[in-house]
Amino acid sequence: MATAFSEPTAPIPAEPPKRRQAATWGNLLFVVPYLTVFAIMLVIPLGWGIWLSTTKGDLFGTDRWVGLANFIRLFRDPIFLETVWNTFYFVLLTVPALAAIGLALALVLNRQTRWAAVLRTIFFASTVLSVTVVTLVWRLVFLPDGGLLAVVTKALGGTPVAFLNDETLAMPAIAITTIWWCIGLPMVLFLAALQQVPRDLYEAAALDNASRWTTLTRITLPAIRRTFMLVLIIEIILQFQLFGQPQLMTLGGPNNATRPIVLFIYETGWRQWELGYASAAAQVLFVMILLAAMAQYRVSSRREET
Amino acid sequence: MRVGRTHPVAIALVIFAAILMLLPLGWVLALSLKANAALLADTNSVFHAPYTLENYRILFGDGQVFRWIGNSLIVSLGMTAGVLVLSSLAGYGFARLEFPGRGALFVVVLLGLAVPEQAVIIARHQMFSAVSMHNTYIALMLPGMSAPFGVFLMTQYFKAIPRDIDEAAMLDGASRLRIFLRVLLPLTIPAQATLGIFTFLTAWNDYWWPLISATNKAMYTLTVGIASTQMNFAQTEGLGFLMAQAVFAGLPILIVYLFFQKYIVQAVAGAAGR
């Protein structure tokens, strides 16, 4: 702030001498509270969970070491294999749709008008609802007798379908529910990426009289390529963990058609109390998610290089 | 930003999609305002009067829902406060201070980012059983505080603050804790807001851990409580009442979203984009 009485500007002082900070045990105190919770709630349970997966409990509650027997049993268990297939099928149904619809919405809604803002709000709003509310709403949409879809079908002169009781339609119905619930996140990520595309690229394209399609495929899409990969991987990791929707909408049925891995873990662990077996299934899922997370790490570290 | 004009067909499609997004919510709201007897006779009655607030009257008369909301508030606020305190301290430590094993410890914390809840939840459940702590607020809050994401976010944020700021304070002889509390912490308020909103929403909507840990009805959070009442709903009986519950459980968070949407969207985009 310059006032009439301000002193003449002092010469800029030279860089203060770099003082190498001493590594002290006292400084550790800042990270100890978190590290304690981290160790007790994450590191120890992780190790314990891996150990549990090699044990089998008996009626007296003591664990017997069985080596890899649980894993061998898992890969021979037709129900577990079906849950693995169901999980992949669900990921396949939801992730490409979430990426494509999210991108389409972001492309249309990336503008500073009031209408675009209102629409963005609508598309993101369902994301803040909990899975319990979402499934409550959607069970009612799919209800064959008086549900929203049934009412619409009847009004159009058709026969209502019992989506959640049909082996082939139940998983797509859960996928639609999930897309409705989760579409906000990919949209927001794409919107954030679109804001980063340098404007002069578009100006140059406009000077060249590039068509809308050329601008999209030659400029926009290459520029947000990494976000696209990131969305795919984040959604794969998230959707691999499918649990609440089938647990609340179909209980895994009909005939196991919607039973994902996490529901298998839950039921094996807390319905049948086979903790070793459930842990083994959890470790299989962990490895799958780890592979996806490693892919994410590679993508995001490559992003920082450029 | 204006990059050509959007095709009218695209706009029409997006508006149509927005209507589809809102339709289920409107349907639920309408159902919640109907007497259960009328719904039993004919669900088409949704489209015409009479409407009633009877379902909400029953809901408020029950009291259980308020207990669950109270639990959700205690757990979500507690977890958020815990995450903010632990992550700020650790973030400052990792970003600014030298101590033995710093690099290795930080790598271990980062590796924790890749561990999904499923891999640890069975052992966590056994640990809380071993000390008879299920059905307590501590059991509901503590696991969420171990998530490494907050530490990662805060470390990045502290690293981005110019070192001159605290070095100047250090020359004045202020203690480390004082510099942290008085000088640096106020500068991290945007990051605290991001992390706080993100943690609160995650805690509020968490379903799996409370489902396993809280077996006593009085300790249910709102998500588990609502789930417990949905089980027998194939019969249309009580449909309006269930929908009133859905509206009651969903509406507050939707209203909060409308007020804070700018920050929530930023928090979510920032959190996932890192």
Residues A124-154: tens digit of each pLDDT: 989 889 999 999 889 888 988 778 888 888 8
In B131-238, which ranges are continuous DSSP H helix? 137-145, 149-160, 163-171, 176-178, 189-205, 208-213, 222-230
Model confidence band, residue A62 (pLDDT cutoffs 50, 70, 90): low
Residue A74: its pLDDT value, please? 94
* Domain containing residue B96: CATH number: 1.10.3720.10
- Give chain B's radius of gyration (CA, Å): 24
The residue in chain B having the minimum alpha-carbon distance to the alpha carbon of residue A286 is: B119
Question: Which residue among A124, A133, A243 places its CB closest to the CB of B265?
Answer: A124
pLDDT(B231) > 60: yes
Q: Tell me the nearest-neighbour CA distance from A189 into chain B, angstroms.
A: 6
Question: Which residue among A43, A52, A215 places its CB closest to the CB of B3?
Answer: A215
> Testing the interface with A: which of B84, B89, B99, B233 to mutate, by most A Cβ within 10 A?
B99
Classify residue B33: in a domain, yes or no: no
Classify residue B69: in a domain, yes or no: yes
Q: Alpha carbon of A129 to those of A132, A142, B15, B95, B255: distances in Å?
A: 8, 19, 21, 35, 11
Classify residue B118: in a domain, yes or no: yes
Residue B2: its pLDDT value, please? 45
Reported as a single tens digit per residue, the pLDDT across B50-92 is 778 888 887 777 778 889 999 999 999 999 999 999 999 999 9
The residue in chain B having the minimum alpha-carbon distance to the alpha carbon of residue A149 is: B24
Classify residue B234: in a domain, yes or no: yes
Classify residue B12: in a domain, yes or no: no
Residue B106: its pLDDT value, please? 95
Classify residue B144: in a domain, yes or no: yes
Stretch B250-256: mean pLDDT, rounded?
Answer: 85
pLDDT(B234) > 50: no
Number of domains in chain B: 1
pLDDT(B269) > 60: yes
Q: Alpha carbon of A187 to those of A65, A105, A183, A289, B73: distances in Å?
A: 48, 6, 6, 23, 29
> What is d(CA A249, CA A169) in angstroms, rounded to the nearest whole number?
13
Classify residue B79: in a domain, yes or no: yes
Contact between chains at A262 and B118 (C-beta distance less than 8 A) = yes
Q: What's A175's DSSP letter?
A: H
Beta strands in A194-253 (DSSP E): none
Contact between chains at B223 and A131 (C-beta distance less than 8 A) = yes
Contact between chains at A45 and B99 (C-beta distance less than 8 A) = no
> What is d(CA A267, CA A278) in angstroms, rounded to the nearest whole number?
8
Stretch B227-242: mean pLDDT, rounded?
Answer: 68
The SS3 call for residue A82 is: helix
Give ipTM to 2 decimals: 0.88
Stretch B17-42: mean pLDDT, rounded?
Answer: 82
Reported as a single tens digit per residue, the pLDDT across A88-129 is 999 999 999 999 999 999 999 988 888 888 999 999 989 889
Reported as a single tens digit per residue, the pLDDT across A231-290 is 998 899 999 999 999 999 998 888 899 999 999 999 999 888 888 999 999 999 999 988
Stretch A37-59: mean pLDDT, rounded?
Answer: 90
Q: Alpha carbon of B133 to those of A44, A47, B179, B239: distances in Å?
A: 17, 21, 37, 36
**Location of structure tokens 């579409």:** A183
Segments forming the whole domain that contains residue B196: 62-273
Contact between chains at B21 and A269 (C-beta distance less than 8 A) = no
Classify residue B143: in a domain, yes or no: yes
pLDDT(A14) > 70: no
pLDDT(A206) > 80: yes
Model confidence band, residue B233 (pLDDT cutoffs 50, 70, 90): low
Q: Tell me the nearest-neighbour CA distance from A128 into chain B, angstroms.
A: 7
> Testing the interface with B: which of A130, A152, A207 to mutate, by most B Cβ within 10 A?
A130
pLDDT(B124) > 90: yes
What is the share, in percent, of chain B residues with pLDDT greater than 70? 89
> What is d(CA A137, CA A160) in angstroms, rounded to the nearest whole number?
18
Using an 8 Å CB-CB cutoff, list chain B residues near A216: none
Portion 197-256 of B in contact with A at CB < 8 A: 201, 204-205, 207-208, 212, 222-224, 226-227, 230, 233, 236, 239, 242-243, 245-246, 249-250, 253-254, 256
> Testing the interface with B: which of A24, A133, A249, A286 to mutate, by most B Cβ within 10 A?
A133
- The token pair that represents A277 in the structure block: 């077996």
pLDDT(B121) > 90: yes
> What is d(CA B201, CA B144) in angstroms, rounded to the nearest whole number?
12
Crossing angle between the packed helical segments B54-62 and B64-96, to the nearest 10 degrees: 70
Contact between chains at A140 and B243 (C-beta distance less than 8 A) = yes
Per the DSSP assignment, residues forming a β-bridge with A57 are A63
Q: What's A130's DSSP letter?
A: -
Residue A266: its pLDDT value, please? 94
Length of chain A: 306
The residue in chain A having the minimum alpha-carbon distance to the alpha carbon of residue B180 is: A30
Q: Tell me the nearest-neighbour CA distance from A239 into chain B, angstroms.
A: 12
Portion 53-112 of B in contact with A at CB < 8 A: 85-87, 89-90, 92-94, 97-100, 102, 105, 108-109, 112
Reported as a single tens digit per residue, the pLDDT across B154-187 is 999 999 888 888 888 888 877 888 888 888 999 9
Q: Tell me the nearest-neighbour CA distance from B122 into chain A, angstroms.
A: 7
